[in-house]
Amino acid sequence: MKAMLLDRCVSFDPSSGTWSDTPLRLADVPLPIPSSEQVRVRTEICGVCHTELDELEGRLPPPHLPAILGHQIVGTVDALGVRAGSLQLGDRVGIAWIHSACGACAYCAGDRENLCPEFAATGLDAPGGYAEYVTAPASFTYPIPPGLESATTAPLLCAGAIGYRSLRLAEVANLDRLGLIGFGASAHLVLQLMRQHFPKIEVFVFARDADQRSFALELGAAWVGTLDETPATLLDAVIDTTPAWGPVLRGLERIKPGGRMIVNAIRKESTDREQLLELDYARHLWKEKQLISVANVTRADVRAFLELAAQCGLGAHVEEFALEDANLALASLRRSGSKGATVLRVLSD
């Protein structure tokens, strides 16, 4: 089968805006064989996530190279292990970031399998969807509701599900004003969900890119601006989806006493300790402000978000690339400023 392989991590030079080498290479690799509890899925669409930049630039290096990235997969079941449950050949399913968890630890038993010490990630610990076929445990796949299109649904499996988890951690039902810092794939889905399911909550969007700010207004943001601008009122909660540390501090300055700052990022690009030291107790945390990171997703998050999406016909705005053009897709994401989500179309019907 065809796959885009990461042979070794590359470095990114911000001054030239280029990588030290082309990250991924098109290759022919053996077709994966599902184990008894797995299914094999013929990939139709695989979303491109900022986490893939963390993987290929070495902030989150895959433990085994060469690696096949990609963890927002929609495709059809193509082969079944003997204990793969009730799935049928031809069923359309999704595969998300959570590839597996142990099922036996206190976190798994307590509905927090995202924190399981044996948490394994799709496209990192196990081969992902930048390939024509991928295997996954049957119990870690999700039927895609019939009304949802594959391309606009793939980003729901990470960007959407982790956005949904962020909203849960923000205790969304208690909010009047929610801030979103960064307006990429996850935030544009969160905003759409807010407009559909919590229309009374005002959403404030902070984004560097002017096109993204006007896109946020189109999707119903109450206010848009850059992080150098300050809305007239403090916010109840802010969700940060940027890859940098500075916006976390700026967000903490913009929440009310008792407010929540939710950081939805697997790694922050800044490793500059000076920046970390800027966290000032009085300014950023005093008066019971909370700073919470979002780690991974649970299957329940993915299922719940797919269900909400099906109820209101929610989908990502997507830019499509061919599998072979994965390097272009990643470069486009690296430049940011794109409207919505980026996906790879792997196989068409």
Q: Which stretch binds Zn ion (CB under 5 A): 13-21, 123-131, 154-162, 337-345?
A: 154-162
224 HSE (CA, 13 A, CB side): 20
Question: Which H or E element spans position 308?
Answer: helix 299-312
Quote the crossing angle between the two packed helices 299-312 and 185-197, to the nearest 10°: 60
> Is 24 or 108 the residue whose CB approaches Zn ion more closely?
108
> Is 49 or 68 the residue whose CB approaches Zn ion more closely?
49
Q: How far is residue 134's CA from residue 90's CA, in Å, rounded to a whole number?
A: 14
**Placement of tokens 């009374």 in the chain:** 200
Whether the CB-CB separation of 194 and 216 falls below 8 Å is answered with no
Q: How far is the CB of 312 from Zn ion (least distance, A)?
A: 22
HEC profile for 33-80?
CCCCCEEEEEEEEEEECHHHHHHHCCCCCCCCCCECCCCCEEEEEEEE
Q: How far is residue 27's CA from residue 147's CA, in Å, rounded to a whole number?
A: 34
Q: Which stretch binds Zn ion (CB under 5 A): 16-24, 139-147, 152-160, 287-295?
A: 152-160
Q: How far is the CB of 254 from Zn ion (least distance, A)?
A: 26
Q: Which stretch binds Zn ion (CB under 5 A): 83-91, 153-161, 205-213, 214-222?
A: 153-161
Q: How far is the CB of 25 from Zn ion (least distance, A)?
A: 22
Q: How far is residue 119's CA from residue 126's CA, in Å, rounded to a whole number?
A: 11
* Partners of 136 in beta bridges: 39
> Is 49 or 323 the residue whose CB approaches Zn ion more closely?
49
Q: How far is the CB of 156 from Zn ion (least distance, A)?
A: 11
Question: Which H or E element spans position 163?
Answer: helix 159-169
Does residue number 329 form part of the binding site for Zn ion (CB under 5 A)?
Answer: no
Mask of contacts with Zn ion, 95-114, x by CB under 5 A? ------xx--x--x------
> Is 75 or 259 the residue whose CB approaches Zn ion more closely?
75
Tokens in use for 282?
């009085």
Q: How far is the CB of 182 from Zn ion (least distance, A)?
A: 14
Does residue number 116 form part of the binding site for Zn ion (CB under 5 A)?
Answer: yes
> Is 70 or 81 the residue whose CB approaches Zn ion more closely?
70
Mask of contacts with Zn ion, 200-229, x by CB under 5 A? ------------------------------
> Is 110 or 199 the residue whose CB approaches Zn ion more closely?
110
Q: How far is the CB of 101 from Zn ion (least distance, A)?
A: 5
> Is 49 or 138 the residue whose CB approaches Zn ion more closely?
49
Site residue total, Zn ion (CB under 5 A):
8
> Is 101 or 178 the residue whose CB approaches Zn ion more closely?
101
Q: How far is residue 255's CA from residue 235's CA, in Å, rounded to a whole number?
A: 5
HEC profile for 195-255?
HHHCCCCEEEEECCCHHHHHHHHHCCCCEEECCCCCCCCCEEEEEECCCCCHHHHHHHHCE
Q: How far is CA 92 from CA 124, 316, 346, in A?
A: 23, 18, 15
Q: How far is the CB of 89 from Zn ion (least distance, A)?
A: 28
Mask of contacts with Zn ion, 33-72, x by CB under 5 A? ----------------x-x---------------------
Site for Zn ion in 274-293 (CB under 5 A): none
Site for Zn ion in 156-185 (CB under 5 A): 158
Q: Which stretch binds Zn ion (CB under 5 A): 150-158, 194-202, 233-241, 326-334?
A: 150-158
203 HSE (CA, 13 A, CB side): 30
**Which parts of this chain interact with Zn ion (CB under 5 A)?**
49, 51, 101-102, 105, 108, 116, 158
